A and B are shown apart, each in its own frame.
Chain A
């Protein structure tokens, strides 16, 4: 009896421009709604968190990655499998401080900022892609890992590269979800 072929993920092709424009419209509207950059960043992070908690199941269902055994393995999978699957890019991974569990993803290309030249005047501390930080944070929390995810460097702010820093904090107690017997 032949085994059924492994199910290849179905990618429905849509125009990337629509996605990039939608994201841009979202950030622009948040800038109108909130005066302070910190508020806009916080909101983007919060929205990203909601997306991340859901996206992680889709990622785990389609990519069939197994349980990871180290933080560097997790960061590698985020960069090489997850980013590739959802944004079509593969950031490189560096370890900043292995004793404190700090890693960085260096983004060479970022489709979300393809049409953005620079941040508007008065919005110098806006993290345009903060949604991505929220997504990573939400996804890691669903697999019981608390992490701090922020932009360490941003090309839009004048830095040479775009760098997302992930600091793994602690393992969340899985048993916390079980009802007390």
Chain B
């Protein structure tokens, strides 16, 4: 599958939904602080992962690009040392896309670097969240999402995105 994982993070930084296509879902609930729990350190003029491991990023991997802008040593191409939030993180084995809503909810998708159409997939996931999680009267805001309809529709959306996206130009 070209889309590896989908995560939904609430305002406080807690993980409220996780879908992994490769690894089986962990039994324990995990709190996931935002930004990522990787320690990035400056080393030899490149930003490297010094500690922490996440789905293929290992120690020693270098950050290639942030938000689509190539990283030149410590700085992004336009000279700023960072921005208000990660929108896209590119490595050689996967691309991490993040969409933050105006209300503070974050949708994170890990996908194959060649997979296209992730931006529209993130918007679609936002719509599915607003439909099947929020409109469920028994779902409390900011709590882990345990709605069948949300699961089903999300998986459907992932399948559609994968079929549509692999042959298109990079997003």
Contact = CB atoms under 8 A, between A and B. Distances in A.
Interface of A: 1, 4, 7, 53-54, 56-58, 60-62, 64, 67, 142-144, 174, 177-179, 181
Interface string B100-117: 011111000000000001
B101 A57 contact: yes
Given A1-B168, A67-B102, A58 B134 contact: yes
Contact of B135 (A54, A178, A179): A54
A179 B37 CA distance: 14
Contacts of A142: 103
Contacts of B103: 56-57, 60, 142-143
B116 to A, nearest CB: 9
Interface of B: 11-13, 33, 101-105, 117, 120, 123-124, 126-127, 129-131, 134-135, 141, 164, 168-169
Nearest to B102: A143
B37 to A, nearest CB: 12
A61 to B, nearest CB: 5
A102 to B, nearest CB: 23
B141 A54 contact: yes
Nearest to A9: B127
A58 B135 contact: yes
A49 to B, nearest CB: 12
Contacts of B13: 177-179
Contact of B105 (A7, A57, A64, A179): A57
Contacts of B33: 179, 181
User: Which of A4, A60, A61, A179 counts the most B-chain CB atoms under 10 A from its CB?
Assistant: A61
B131 A1 contact: no
11 contacts: A7-B123, A54-B130, A56-B103, A58-B134, A60-B101, A61-B123, A61-B126, A142-B103, A177-B11, A177-B13, A177-B104
B130 A57 contact: yes
Nearest to B128: A61
Contacts of B135: 54, 58
A146 B105 CA distance: 18
B129 A57 contact: yes
Contact of B130 (A4, A58, A179): A58
A61 B127 contact: yes
Nearest to B141: A53
Contacts of B127: 7, 61-62
Contacts of B102: 60, 67, 143
A1 B116 CA distance: 12
A17 to B, nearest CB: 22
